[in-house]
Amino acid sequence: MASEKRDKEEEEVKTDDGSPKIKPRPIVQLGIFLVAHSPVFSVVFSAAGVLALLILPLLAKNTYISENALMPGSARSMLSNRDVSDGSKLVKDIKNYWLNHEGQGVEVQKLIGKYMSDMGAEVYYQKFHPEGNQFHPLHFFSGPDSYTLLDNVSCASYGVNVAGIIRAPRGDGKESIVLVTPYDFINGGDYEALSLGITSTLFSLLARVTWLSKDIIWLVTDSRYGDYRPVAAWLTEYHSPSFKVSDLLKCGELNTADTFRRAGTVAAALVLKVDGRSERFEDTLSIYAEASNGQMPNLDLINVVNYLAVHRQGFYVKVEKVVSLLSSSWLKIIGEIFEAVGKLARTLNPDWNFGIPAADYLEGSATLASSLYSQALGIPTGPHGAFRDYQVDAITLKISPRFPPDSKTRQHDFFLRGARLLEGTIRSVNNLLEKFHQSFFLYLLTSPSKFISVGVYMIAFALLVAPLPMVAASLYIEGCKALTKSTDNPTENLKSWKWLDAAKQVFALHLLGFIVTLLPYFICQVPGQHSPRNRSIMWGTTSSSLLLITFAIIPGCSPFSSRHHGTNWAVLKSVTISAAFIGLCLMSIINFATAEIGALLLVPTCLMAQPIKPALRSRRIKSLLGAFCSMVLLTIGFPVMFFAISKGLFGEAVVGLSLGGEFWTWLESLWAWKSATYLYIGMVHLPCWLLCLCILFHPS
């Protein structure tokens, strides 16, 4: 019986010609099943991706200290009234200089240097050229060395940084901590002077303590030329010294010919700013952590500052949020739904902790949107971003006091609490024997004390892009079948090469996107003064002309070509989706936030793209609705239109002719900061959008 059953099974697995039939593996069977039902799964996965993004505020976890050696708040503060008096005296002397010597910035620099020297620090001055970032295609991926000081520059405008170094009594000079205080030496305000007072109070203490194992560098940057540029110039000289004698050394009264002094490798950096009066009844501390291309400091650094500020010094800590979302009615409804579901889940099982109050959901979503947007933009939110270019963990702390700057009665307590916050943070970093590594580097914030780790937020992106390979395979099979039926010549029926025509069109438009990405550099070289609006018009006109030339040169590339010479739209859509999938996956490695927002725009547009002519001919409601959705998604997905919509969400409505100028200024900031988002827009999003437009007007 057993042998007969075995013979029967062997007969079943043989083909007609007698050769054994190979049974496909389960993973192959699963792939075939997904491809065969790709329309259903694309809807399911896309909806699940959007839902996963909406529930991210519910999945946020409380922050915690991962590195035990940090021990924030374990030591008692050593600050005394003497230290606070030193800080108050510096602020008073600076204000007196403004009253008696208006515009004498050099005197203030000398005064700050004198205070540092009296505390026992090694003081030096650094001159730098204030020239900002400029777009150059060959230097787009160059490192921080692009900030190298220029020779043969004019003495008409230059900046001066003042730096003081305290050598650690228990250290070997191999590590250091940097305190940065931006200050405008010409038009410095009262609030900026308060930031100098806080740092001077702390510096007075650090100059005489014995527990320091890392050198302390106090850098007072010349913020006349922005907060970022002076820090970047100092870091360039610190890490990549220039052995050429700059002409800047001959400028001004300050002697900067002395050797540029250095300490050890920078372990961490804190940028302190006092900016404006708090709208609340308590002092407010704002934390800015985003650096270039979505880079973030180690989460432990934020956790230490947040813990000390809230539980030790009584600050109200906040991070940036999209304020307009706080009044969003649809988001409030979603929050109420999640709150009701959470209550229902707890009635079924008290251990099911799902759902948060609708108000907390609104706050978390607004903060999450701001964190996602700031990371996607790829532009640093403060001067701390210059440190991240050298893989140094750094954040910017912006304190808003609850009292006016001329209130002397509150100033003493403000200096004491602010300096204690910095003291506790430096003491925690001083305890580390190695770099920050225990906690997360990839995360999104929903509040100062809640975060979403990379393992959670990547799920939403994975669900959004999951349908793309399935739909691409399904469309390719469908397109090949259509091409097989349309030809009677067996020699032309080479299925495996039918995609080459579509690939040629996709490659041509991606090459066009690359050229369009480089156009701003050449437009900026045009002589004469041109407004951003005029430059945007030049860019749009040139890009449109190049697109028409591409349609004319490459046969079948134009959506208006004849049906005989055109490419099968299913195969074209298949290759387009494949290109979008590859571009989004590559972008997720460089900057996840950009890939997430790009997937929200590009995935529905690619999936819904279909020829509009058959829908108009059939006049069926389903076909017309699909064509309408395609046109709406294409309209929203156009970069300029999405820029206008995002501006509206942030409460900055831009309409009319000013939209082009605003968009050019925004793009200019992206390429000036070497944001990878600029490359994504020009080389991934725009070509795929044009291909979807070609599919929409395909002569089917």
Q: What is the pLDDT of residues 165-193, one digit of tens each?
A: 999 998 888 999 999 999 988 877 788 88
pLDDT reading at 11 higher than 50 = no
> Cβ(223)–Cβ(108) under 8 Å?
no
Query: What phi, psi does 209 have (nearest 5°)?
Result: -80, 160
Q: What is the pLDDT of residue 567?
A: 63
In tens, the pLDDT along 212-249 reads 999 999 999 998 888 899 999 999 889 887 665 555 55
Q: What is the pLDDT of residue 202?
A: 93
For tokens 């250095």, the residue is: 262
Q: What is the pLDDT of residue 494?
A: 45
**How far apart are the C-alpha atoms of 342 and 233, rounded to whole Å?**
52
Q: What is the pLDDT of residue 520?
A: 84
Q: What is the pLDDT of residue 34?
A: 78
| Residue 145 pLDDT grade (very low, low, confident, very high; cuts 50, 70, 90) | very low
The sign of the torsion formed by the CA atoms of 344, 348, 352, 353 equals: positive
Task: Return the structure tokens found at 448.
Answer: 């100062």
* SS3 state of residue 445: strand
pLDDT reading at 203 higher than 80 = yes
Q: What is the pLDDT of residue 655?
A: 56
State the greatest distance between any 2 C-alpha atoms of the chain, in Å, as a whole number. 112
In tens, the pLDDT along 679-688 reads 999 999 999 9
| Residue 451 pLDDT grade (very low, low, confident, very high; cuts 50, 70, 90) | very high
> Looking at residue 127, what DSSP letter applies?
E
User: Which whole number is the average pLDDT over 104-125?
Assistant: 87
In the chain, what percentage of residues exceed pLDDT 70?
83
In tens, the pLDDT along 411-444 reads 888 999 999 999 999 999 999 988 888 889 999 9
* SS3 state of residue 390: coil
In tens, the pLDDT along 567-582 reads 678 888 999 999 999 9
pLDDT reading at 33 higher than 90 = no
Lowest mean pLDDT among 51-60, 91-100, 124-133, 688-697: 124-133
What is the overall mean pLDDT for the chain?
83
Rounded to a whole number, what is the distance in angstroms from the first to the last CA of the chain? 60
> Cβ(647)–Cβ(662) under 8 Å?
yes
User: Which whole number is the average pLDDT over 473-492?
Assistant: 66
**How far apart are the C-alpha atoms of 466 and 603, rounded to whole Å?**
10
**How far apart are the C-alpha atoms of 281 and 550, rounded to whole Å?**
62
Q: What is the pLDDT of residue 190?
A: 81
pLDDT reading at 3 higher than 70 = no
Q: What is the pLDDT of residue 156?
A: 60
> Cβ(133)–Cβ(673) under 8 Å?
yes
Burial class of residue 547, CB neighbours in 10 A (0-12, 13-18, 19+): middle
- 125 beta partners: 162
Q: What is the pLDDT of residue 642?
A: 86
- The upper half-sphere exposure of residue 397, i.e. CA atoms within 13 Å in the direction of its Cβ, equals 32
Q: What is the pLDDT of residue 564?
A: 43
Q: Which of 545, 540, 536 is nearest to 663 (CA)?
A: 536
> Cβ(199)–Cβ(179) under 8 Å?
yes
- 265 beta partners: 175
Helix H or strand E segment including 631: helix 621-637
Compare 409 and 178 and report the one with higher pLDDT.
178
Q: What is the pLDDT of residue 10?
A: 47
Q: What is the pLDDT of residue 134?
A: 59
> Looking at residue 107, what DSSP letter applies?
H
Q: Which of 669, 632, 179 is nearest to 421 (CA)?
A: 179
Compare 278 and 197 and report the one with higher pLDDT.
197
Compare 493 and 453 and report the one with higher pLDDT.
453
Helix H or strand E segment including 161: strand 159-166
Most confident range, picked from 96-100, 308-312, 405-409: 308-312
| Residue 673 pLDDT grade (very low, low, confident, very high; cuts 50, 70, 90) | confident
Q: What is the pLDDT of residue 354?
A: 77
User: Which whole number is the average pLDDT over 507-512?
Assistant: 91
Q: What is the pLDDT of residue 614?
A: 81
pLDDT reading at 147 higher than 50 = no
Burial class of residue 89, CB neighbours in 10 A (0-12, 13-18, 19+): middle
Burial class of residue 201, CB neighbours in 10 A (0-12, 13-18, 19+): buried
| Residue 256 pLDDT grade (very low, low, confident, very high; cuts 50, 70, 90) | low
Helix H or strand E segment including 178: strand 175-183
- 450 beta partners: 62, 447
Q: What is the pLDDT of residue 158?
A: 78
Lowest mean pLDDT among 8-22, 75-89, 335-349, 535-549: 8-22
pLDDT reading at 664 higher than 70 = yes
Q: Which of 633, 670, 640, 639 is nearest to 655 (CA)?
A: 640
User: Which whole number is the average pLDDT over 250-256?
Assistant: 58
pLDDT reading at 150 higher than 60 = no
pLDDT reading at 105 higher than 90 = no
